[in-house]
Structure 1
Amino acid sequence: MKSQEMEKDVILRVNFDSLKKSIIALSSSEKKELLMLLEENLFESELNEPMGEYLLSESSLKKDWDKKEEDEAWKDL
């Protein structure tokens, strides 16, 4: 006879600073996995909103924004 797994709800109470420190301490691969989880699950309802699209595209755009040429072009503004 197979043992049946029981599902239990778990409530974790963590303040934001503690959560942030825990995330920072993650390895690079763990951070990527967490980001994928957030993009796939938490932002689904926000994808139809302009801000949701911005959040998802920011990492792609950042590659172009974080160049010395861009800093030079915008330094006088």
Structure 2
Amino acid sequence: MKRQKRDRFQRAYVKGYKAGVTGKSRDDCPSQEVNMREYWMSGWREGRGDQWSGMTGIAGIHKNPMVLQQL
């Protein structure tokens, strides 16, 4: 049985979120395509906000998009 591919924009958002939570720079965005960069930056912004709010590790498990996808 084939698995349906995940939306590439959702993947960009999740990767951006991970980068933001870990404190990486927004210059680390891997894509130059406008739409992909927009989703990555959106995830990065939310991840940075969560990092600044202390939502990292166990405290931020309810905000992690990777955990929410598996539910």
Same fold, TM-score > 0.5, yes or no = no
Larger radius of gyration: 1
TM-score range, shorter chain: 0.3 to 0.5
**TM-score, normalized by length of structure 1?**
0.32
